[in-house]
Amino acid sequence: MLNKIHHIALICSNYEISKRFYTEILGLEIINETYRVERESYKLDLALHGNYCLELFSFPNPPKRPSKPEATGLRHLAFEVDNLEIVINHLIRHKLEVEPIRIDEITNKRFTFTSDPDDLPIEFYEKIEQTEFNNKKL
């Protein structure tokens, strides 16, 4: 019935800051950028390695996202990476706080978190081969 996740949509509080974070710091590619006058809103379509994955929206005065304690809804956005240290050093160079590396108790892979400009947790997870994941007992 379902083929794949098509995209994730995020609403940001400051469009220019979030656009910079997702494009210049994380390196997502801009597919299309539209200003919708009737909604006073930007819609930014972003891709990762040519694959459409994220929509970034701005709206006038959106309510703040409840994050702590954890709230119902999107918990975090996760990206697979080949080398966690390279990502961590890149984030630190951009003056972002990075949590200490943790180990996933199911996959034994390393991961860490930072936050986007609106405090949405962003996870960076070491690449796991599908055969490794399929062989784990959940």
Question: What digits encode the pLDDT tens for the residues 35-89?
Answer: 999 999 999 999 999 999 999 999 988 888 777 777 778 889 999 999 999 999 9
User: Counting Cβ atoms within 10 Å, is residue 13 exposed (0-12), middle (13-18) or buried (19+)?
Assistant: middle
Categorize the per-residue pLDDT at 131 as very low, low, confident or very high, splitting at 50, 70 and 90: low
Question: What digits encode the pLDDT tens for the residues 3-28?
Answer: 788 899 999 999 999 999 999 999 99
List the domains of the chain with CATH numbers: 1-63 (3.10.180.10), 64-138 (3.10.180.10)
**pLDDT of amino acid 135:** 60
User: Counting Cβ atoms within 10 Å, is residue 12 exposed (0-12), middle (13-18) or buried (19+)?
Assistant: buried
**pLDDT of amino acid 70:** 74
Categorize the per-residue pLDDT at 134 as very low, low, confident or very high, splitting at 50, 70 and 90: low
Helices (H), 11-121: 15-20, 84-93
Question: What digits encode the pLDDT tens for the residues 102-122?
Answer: 999 988 999 999 999 999 999
Residue 133 has pLDDT above 80, yes or no: no
